[in-house]
Every structure is written in C-alpha cells, then in structure tokens.
Amino acid sequence: MMDVIHVDEKYFFLTVVKRRFIMLHDEPDPIRKLKSKRHITKVMMLAAVARPRYNEAGECIFDGKLGTWPFVVHTLAERTSRNRPAGTPLVKAVTATKENYREMLIDKLLPAIRSKWPGGGRGTRITIQQDNASPHIDPKDSAFCAAVDALDLNVVLKFQPPNSPDLNCLDLEAFHAIQARQQLRSPRTLAELVAATTEAYWELPDKTLNNIFLSLQCAMESCIREQGENTYKLTHMAKAKLRREGRLPLTIAYSDYTVSVIRALATITSSTHS
C-alpha cells in the first residue's frame, strides 16, 4: 500500500445550493444571483495521493500529495463585450475524456512522481489505482507505457474493483476534506475556483491523509469480511487518541479470517503466474 497512488476525478462547485450564515440581527440577508441552481459554475479536478511517509523520529518526509489538476482549456475572447475586450484570456471547463485524461497522466502525474516520490520513483514498482469510469485508459495503453519507459519509471496502471468507491481513499474521505476547505473561500470565477481547490488540496494535512489510508485498510477488511458486499459500516479507530498516545499503527490488526483469505489469494496468484 505504500507504493500505490490513488487517482480520481471530482466536480467542485463555485457555491452550494444551500448555505448557512451567522449574521447580526440588523445585517441584511446575502443575495446570490444565478440563473438557476442547475447553472452553478463547476470544474472537474483530477487528484493523486499516496500514503504519507515518516522517519523514525515521526517527521514527515513525504506528504503523499502529488498534485491536482483541472480539466480546463485556455482560450481568448473572440468578441468584445461590456465585461471584457476581445483577446482577453479565458478559462473554460471541459469534460474529461480518454484523450485529456491520458494527457493528464503523462504530462502531469508522471513528472510529479519523478520529482516528488521518495527516491525519484526509481527501484520500486509504483501502482496507479483508478476506478472504472469511462474516461480512464486501459492499463496497457501504448502512449502511457511509452511515457513511463521514457522517464525510466516502474509504474503500472490498475483498475480497482467495480462499484467499490470505499477502496479509493479519495472517494473514501479525501475529497470531502478538500471540498470542506475549498468552501471556506469565496471564488467568483472559474479561475478563482480552480485556484481555491488547488490551495485546499495542498493545505490538506499529512496526518489527515494518513488517517484516510488507515480507514481504507478498515474498508478493505470489511469488504473481505462481507465477502465482497459493500453493505458494511466503516470501523472507527479513534485515530486522534491513538496518535496522542503514540500508539497509532502503520497497519491495522487484521482478523484471522482476513489473514486466511489473503493467504489463499496469494497462493492462487503465485500458482497462476508460475
């Protein structure tokens, strides 16, 4: 799990449909002017995270954050309007497709692995885990594999089990934490929304991300215990208390049943490859 990168996309919105404010008794109510709640500006962001790493003194040596990137295009205004003259730089959101998703992995994620991963990503096999969304590329995509070879990396793509969002730490909790921080800001344009979301991503504490990966381990064990069903409830570990007491584990203690299933799967996998 230390050498697995979780990637996923999520829409982030300029504002929410319902929002609460604390105001003085004589303060006027805030007014929001939009065409309708169906026309709230939004942008899709791709994020990539891995398990944070710490040295023996407990100091963070890798925060696990590789980057987040928007699906946007930069254009120029074609006509003059009362808001801007012709030729003004504009940012427009686009839909995620296989083509721009592949470009994002090749042009953004792989260089980020080279620059941010401990040891530059050399010598270890790194797995990029993605869900089964239609824009995601095949693990044997020729352009992606060629880019990996060009950077001299040992990186492979893998799909996570279908209909299992809890097995991706971004869907599990990370996106909620990023969105909560992003909504503390008040962006007014698409460019400001992208900047606010990017800042919220980089502000995410490494301790929070480490907690999410422990929750991921709990979700994986619950999935095994329920024999693949997703009707389980996530286990609470009291991570903050364990961290204060210096007892927060690197890996949770698995049940005997989970250990037996993992060993059986390992035996089947080894016999298949042999």
Range of the domain at 195: 4-20+37-74+89-205
Q: What is the arrangement of strands in the sheet containing 155-159, beginning at the earlier edge strand?
A: 65-70, 42-50, 4-13, 126-130, 155-159
Structural domain contains residue 81: no
The pLDDT score that the predictor gives to residue 57 is 86
Per-residue confidence in pLDDT tens, the chain, 274 aa: 789 999 999 999 998 888 888 889 899 888 777 777 788 899 999 999 999 999 988 899 999 999 999 999 999 988 898 888 998 888 899 999 999 999 999 999 999 999 999 988 777 899 999 999 999 999 999 999 999 999 999 999 999 988 888 899 999 999 999 999 999 998 989 999 999 999 999 999 999 999 999 999 999 888 888 887 878 888 888 898 988 888 888 888 888 888 888 888 888 877 766 5
Task: Give the domain CATH number at 175.
Answer: 3.30.420.10
Structural domain contains residue 9: yes
Structural domain contains residue 102: yes
The pLDDT score that the predictor gives to residue 120 is 80
Q: How many domains, the chain?
A: 1
Supply the DSSP symbol for 193.
Answer: H
The pLDDT score that the predictor gives to residue 180 is 94
Structural domain contains residue 170: yes
Q: Are 71 and 96 in contact (CB under 8 A)?
A: yes
Structural domain contains residue 43: yes
Structural domain contains residue 249: no
Q: Model's pTM, two decimal places?
A: 0.89
Structural domain contains residue 30: no
Structural domain contains residue 229: no
The pLDDT score that the predictor gives to residue 49 is 97
The pLDDT score that the predictor gives to residue 274 is 57
